[in-house]
Chains A and B, each alone.
Chain A
Amino acid sequence: MKSFLPSVLILGGILAFSLWNCAAMTAHTERWSGQLEQVAELAGEEDWSGAETALEESYRDWSSHQTLLHIVERHDSVDDAEAMYRRASAFAKEQEASEFQAELADLRDQLRLLAEMERFSIKNIL
C-alpha cells in the first residue's frame, strides 16, 4: 500500500484543490454579484453617489483577488470582467442609467461564467 501513497496523494491533492477552487470561485462570484445587485438597486433609486461608492468597494474587493483569479481562470475572461467594472464605473460617473444597468447585468453574467467554468458538472466535463 505504501508504494501507492505518492500517486494517491498527488491525485487526492489535485482533486481537493479543484473542489476548493470550485467552492472558492462560487463564493467569491456570488459575493461580487450580490454587491453589484445592491449597486443596481441604488442606481435604480437614483442614488448615484451611493451606487458609485458601492461599485468602488466591489471593484476593490474584486481587485484584491486578481492574483488568485489569474492563477485559476483564463486571463481573457478575467480581463473582460475587469473591463466591464471600469465601463460600469464610467457610466456611473456620467449617470447613464440604462447603459449602467446593462453593463452591470453583463458583468454579473460574466462573473457567473467565471464560477461556472470551474464547476464540476456534466456540461463542463463533456
Chain B
Amino acid sequence: MATAFLRTVILYFLIMFGLRLTGKRQIGELEPSELVLTMMISDLATVPMQDFGIPLLAGVIPILTLLALSMLLSQLSLKNLRFRALLCGVPTLLIDQGRICQEAMRKNRFTIDELLEELRSQGYCDVKAVKYAVLENSGQLSILPWPREQPPSARQLHHPVEDDISLPLILINDGRVLRSNLKKCGKSEAWLSQQLAARGFSSPRQVFLLTITGDDTIDYLPKEETP
C-alpha cells in the first residue's frame, strides 16, 4: 500500500509539473496533438501506479520523453511557421463572405449538419447571417456575422464614450495583504491601514476581499465570522 501511495504521489507531481511546463490551456482548448499527449500521459501513469511488478521508471521515462518532445516541438513551432502549420494545422474558412466552402468542408470532414449545429449553438439559425466561419486548429468554430446582423458599436454610431473600464487590483485576499499589488498601484501599507480604519476595520484580517481600480475606487467585502 505504501508503494501505491508513494508512486501515486510521485507520478501526480511529475505530471502536474510537466503539464504546467507545456502551457496554461484548459482541456477544452487543447489542440489534437496536446489532447493525445494528455491522454497518453494519464494512461502511462496509471500502469505503474497499479502494477507494482513494473518499475516506476517504466512509467516515468515515457512520460518525461513525451513531455520533453512536446516542449521541443512547441519551441520548434514557435520558431518556424511551416513547422507550426505542419504540427498544428492552419485555420480553415468554412464560410467565406457568406458562401459555404464545400471543398474545405470535405477536406476537414465537416458535414453540413455539424456546421448548422455549430451555427445554431452560437445563436445563428440562418447561414446567410454569417459572413465568415473559421474552423480553428482546436476544432472550435469561430463565427463572424455580417455587420447588419450585429448590434452596432459606439464607434459605428460615431458616439463618443468615456473609457471608465479599469482592471481592479486585489489588495487584500482572504485577510492577507498583497504587498506586490500595493506597490504596483503606488500605495503604502500606512495608506491601506488608513483606508481600513476609515471603513471600521482594525486589521486586514477582518477583510475578505479589497480591490482598487485605476481611479482609486475601493471595493471591499468584510470577512464573515466563522461559526
Residues of A within 8 A of B (CB): 3-4, 6-8, 10-11, 14, 17-18, 70-76
Contacts and interface: CB of A to CB of B under 8 A. Distances in A.
Given A70-B55, A75-B53, A14 B65 contact: yes
A6 B61 CA distance: 16
A4 B54 contact: no
Given A14-B61, A14-B64, A72 B55 contact: yes
B72 interface: yes
Nearest to A77: B53
B68 A7 contact: yes
Dominant SS at the B interface? helix
Task: Point out which of B58, B64, B69, B72 has the most chain A C-beta atoms below 10 A from its C-beta.
Answer: B72
30 contacts: A3-B75, A3-B78, A4-B72, A4-B75, A6-B68, A6-B71, A7-B68, A7-B69, A7-B71, A7-B75, A8-B72, A10-B67, A10-B68, A10-B71, A11-B68, A14-B61, A14-B64, A14-B65, A18-B61, A70-B55, A71-B55, A71-B56, A71-B57, A74-B53, A74-B54, A74-B55, A75-B52, A75-B53, A75-B55, A76-B53
Q: Which 6 A-B pairs have the closest CB atoms?
A: A10-B68, A7-B72, A7-B71, A7-B68, A75-B53, A11-B68
Interface string B70-97: 0110011010000000000000000000
Contacts, number: 45
Given A6-B71, A10-B71, A18-B61, 4 more contacts: A4-B72, A8-B68, A71-B55, A71-B57
A116 B22 CA distance: 35
Contacts of B68: 6-8, 10-11, 14
A74 to B, nearest CB: 6
A4 B61 CA distance: 19
Given A3-B75, A4-B75, A11 B69 contact: yes
B14 to A, nearest CB: 12
A71 B58 CA distance: 9
A11 B55 contact: no
